[in-house]
Amino acid sequence: MTTSTTRPVPKTTLRRLAPVGFKAHPARGRFNSTFFWGMGGYINWHMHKSKAKVYADLPSSVVELGSGVGANLRYLPAGARLTAIEPNPYMHARLRRAARRRRVDLEIRSVVGERIDLPDASAEAVISSLVLCTVTDPAAVLAEIRRILRPGGRFSFAEHVVAKPRTPTRWSQRILRRPWAWVFEGCSCERDLTSLVRSAGFTSVDVYPYRIHSPFVPFNTHIAGTAIA
Ligand SMILES: C[S@@+](CC[C@H](N)C(=O)[O-])C[C@H]1O[C@@H](n2cnc3c(N)ncnc32)[C@H](O)[C@@H]1O
């Protein structure tokens, strides 16, 4: 299912608009949309240096997984076209408004990253931030990213990951995993995404770890990088 930028959807039908494979929750969906809209600046303040590095020189047409309310629009070149793979209908209105403000030509495809409705080898660049932690099957999503990228195309990502064993951050990730996943609609702080990206069959992978210092302790261990199809 694809929704365009020009036709806002009546609020009452939002839940029914979620694609197969994604459960839209009215309360948590709205909470997460508001949370990432309100906290986006703060989160980006922590992640900006890495994002600026891995999203540098993006082409004028980009596919983004889980665009949320538009945290990464600022990294797109002027006049860019963004295809947003965003299954959560509660994100769409804010994402559309943000795209209009940034003059980005937006197309929302309301499908899950595990089943992207784009042809093989059709994308020059795919980006994501804070999404591989939340998707149901990150290996399937990475396979889809590889499928839609043209040979030589790039996947640039900034994600949060599992901490090193026997560290306070790792303990907090373990202890808080259930309430965290409940509040943030399936988000796991326990994924080793470095290994997953490295084993996803890309031609080359350049990834580095870094740490942020936020009060959301389970969220503080990050990676950023680029994988070439
Ligand atoms: C933590 S938010 C991050 C949003 C945005 N990328 C950012 O950095 O602020 C996770 C996003 O992934 C989306 N998402 C969840 N499951 C997904 C899936 N299976 N495929 C694609 N996107 C998904 C959610 O709807 C949400 O917008």
Closest ligand 1 atom, CA of 136? Answer: 19
Token pair for residue 119?
């042809």
How many CA atoms does the CB half-sphere of 85 hold within 13 Å?
25
Cα–ligand 1 centroid distance for 37 (angstroms)? 13
Cβ neighbour number for residue 176 with a 10 Å cutoff: 16
- State mean pLDDT over 156-180: 98
Nearest protein CA to atom 9 of ligand 1, as residue: 71
Q: Assess whether pLDDT exceeds 60 at residue 223.
A: yes
CA distance 186 to 221: 18
Strand order in the sheet with 221-228: 2-3, 105-109, 81-85, 61-65, 123-129, 149-160, 221-228, 204-211
Nearest protein CA to atom 24 of ligand 1, as residue: 66
Place of tokens 């538009």: 70
Per-residue confidence at 2, pLDDT binned at 50, 70, 90? Answer: very low
Burial 116-134 (b: 16+ CB within 10 A, else e): bebeeeebbbbbbbbbbbb
Q: Is the distance from CB of 18 to CB of 77 less than 8 angstroms?
A: no
The preferred substitution site among 131, 135, 160, 182 for testing ligand 1, maximizing ligand atoms within 8 Å of CB, is 131
**Mean pLDDT across the chain:** 93
Per-residue confidence at 12, pLDDT binned at 50, 70, 90? Answer: low
Q: Is the minimum distance from the CB of 68 to ligand 1 under 6 angstroms?
A: yes
Q: Is the minimum distance from the CB of 89 to ligand 1 under 6 angstroms?
A: no
pTM assigned to the model = 0.93
Q: Which residues contact 177 (CB under 8 A, 6 or more apart)?
A: 188, 189, 190, 218
Q: Is the minimum distance from the CB of 104 to ligand 1 under 6 angstroms?
A: no
Q: Is the minimum distance from the CB of 73 to ligand 1 under 6 angstroms?
A: no
CA distance 57 to 78: 11
Token pair for residue 18?
């979620």
Tens of pLDDT along 18-61?
776 788 888 999 999 999 999 999 999 999 999 999 999 999 99
Q: Is the minimum distance from the CB of 227 to ligand 1 under 6 angstroms?
A: no
Distance of CA 34 to the CA centre of its chain: 16
- State mean pLDDT over 2-26: 65
Closest by alpha carbon to 135, among 30, 229, 209, 65? 65
- State mean pLDDT over 120-130: 98
- State mean pLDDT over 211-216: 97
Q: Is the distance from CB of 129 to CB of 225 less than 8 angstroms?
A: no
pLDDT given at position 5: 44
pLDDT given at position 1: 45
Q: Assess whether pLDDT exceeds 90 at residue 7.
A: no
Q: Is the minimum distance from the CB of 85 to ligand 1 under 6 angstroms?
A: yes
Q: Assess whether pLDDT exceeds 90 at residue 13.
A: no
Q: Is the minimum distance from the CB of 36 to ligand 1 under 6 angstroms?
A: yes
The preferred substitution site among 134, 142, 216 for testing ligand 1, maximizing ligand atoms within 8 Å of CB, is 134
Per-residue confidence at 166, pLDDT binned at 50, 70, 90? Answer: very high
CA distance 222 to 194: 10
pLDDT given at position 216: 96
Q: Is the minimum distance from the CB of 66 to ligand 1 under 6 angstroms?
A: yes
Percent of the chain clearing pLDDT 70 (strictly above): 93
CA distance 117 to 176: 34
Nearest protein CA to atom 5 of ligand 1, as residue: 68
- State mean pLDDT over 92-109: 97
Q: Is the minimum distance from the CB of 39 to ligand 1 under 6 angstroms?
A: no
